[in-house]
Structure 1
Amino acid sequence: MKKTILALNHKEARQFLLKNESYCNIDLPPYLNFTILLTELSKKLGSRNLNEFKKLLPTTEQNGAGNKRFQPSDFEYVNYKLLHNKNGKFDWRPFELINPMLYVSLVHKMTESDNWEKITKRFLHVKRRSCVECISLPVVSENKNSDVKEQVLKWWDGIEQKSLKLSLDFKYLHHTDITDCYGSIYTHSIP
């Protein structure tokens, strides 16, 4: 069984999530590497929260609209959107790179000791009470393989190989396809 992120303590989880491969799993050219940026932002943030950094943002007073501080949510394009063509035709899938500062802040918040304990306990609780298995949890490579390669191998073993084993016990298999649904999912409707 492959080691998932849930097997890590809060410090290891933070270190794992601040890796370039964890921040962005889109195939980008090798010269686009976010490691230094994420490391520096993490150092700057330290034990502070994002609200302290918001104090450095300009106020609306400078625009003559009062004395309200700008919030990341005030900006429509706080994240970077790019389109990916899946098949060389007309199937374009939107990808969004979360603002690195917001990402680092979220990672810091999630990997605070108490929060990380709650997250891992909740996943284990759901796993015990459910017949649904989450194969998509990030996998931590314990050898020279990349985390991405280990993730693909886990998917292959957990989905493809398990499907073959289960095919001996079941007469029917129902396949679903959610291709091209990403642009139409209203994410706030997901509990």
Structure 2
Amino acid sequence: MQNVWAFVDGTVRGICRPKARNGQRDGKYRSQKSVYNGHKCKHALKYQTLSTPDGLITHVYGPFPGRNHDIKLFKDSRIANVIRGDARFKPYRIYGDQAYGNDSVLLSPFTGAVANLSREQKLVNKSMSNVRVSVEWGYGQVVNYWTALDLKRQARSGTQPVGSMYRVAILLTNCLTCANGGNTISDYFRLPPPSLEEYLKGS
């Protein structure tokens, strides 16, 4: 799939269990329930990102309570409308997992029983699954540079600007990627990032 320009995914960042305010136990329960991610079995905030083959995270949306599904973040972000409205993206699409579906903006794996997929469809699914792992490399790079983000005991929603901290960490990580001339992701795809000056100018 040579017309894929980015990979969309959601990342879950652990936080401390929310505390009640002014002794309101009911509020504490609702707050804890809203940020609890059952899949990861932890209290968390969730972000949506677009990662590109040059090693940059080019879009981040959030935080949202951890219980929200990736597709809800995608719809709420309205990033699809932004992409549709920009002629530069017309021949291209972004790739996500099966939850995202397929349309003029999105591509996702071929679905159905494996036995019913053609050999070509299986090969495409396997190939795209391999390259989509690069999204996880990007998330790992952010927390490797800024280790405080991975210490959920210190990240309490409501007492620290954890959402702003994560977005700033992504910006600074992108700056480091550009200043260093690339990272594991850009090396994998053989596509260098822009220079730091170009990145900060938005060109």
Shorter-normalised TM-score: what interval? under 0.3
TM-score under structure 2 length normalisation = 0.25
TM-score under structure 1 length normalisation = 0.26
Relative to total residues, which structure has the larger strand share, 1 or 2?
2
